[in-house]
Structure 1
Amino acid sequence: QGPCCGQAHGPAMEVPDFPVERVFCIDVECVAVGRTHELSSRAPCSVALVDGYGEVLYSTAIIPSAPVVSYLTPITGVTAEDLEAAVPLEEATAELKRRLPKDAVLVGQKPDGDIVWMQLVPGVDFAVSLDLAEIFRGFNTRFGNFSYHSLQHEAQVLLGKSPPGGAHDPAWDAQVSVELYAKARTASSGALSQMRQELIRVRPAPSIAKLHNYVLDGVCMAKFMPKLCTCGAPCA
Structure 2
Amino acid sequence: MFSLKGKKALIVGVANSQSIAWGCAKAMKAQGAELALTYLNDKAKKHVAPLAEESGAAIFEPLDVTSPQQIDALYRQIEKVWGRLDILLHSIAFCPQADLHGRVVDCSAEGFGLAMDVSVHSFLRLIRKSEPLMPPGSSIMTVTFHGSEKVISNYNIMGPVKAALESTTRYVASELGQKGISVNALSPGPLATRAASGIASFDEMLADATERSPTRKLATIEDIGAYAAFLASDEAMNITGVVHPIDGGYRIIG
> TM-score if structure 2 supplies the norm length?
0.30
Structure ranking higher in helix proportion: 2
> TM-score if structure 1 supplies the norm length?
0.31
Structure ranking higher in strand proportion: 1
More RCO (CA 8 Å, sep 6+): 1
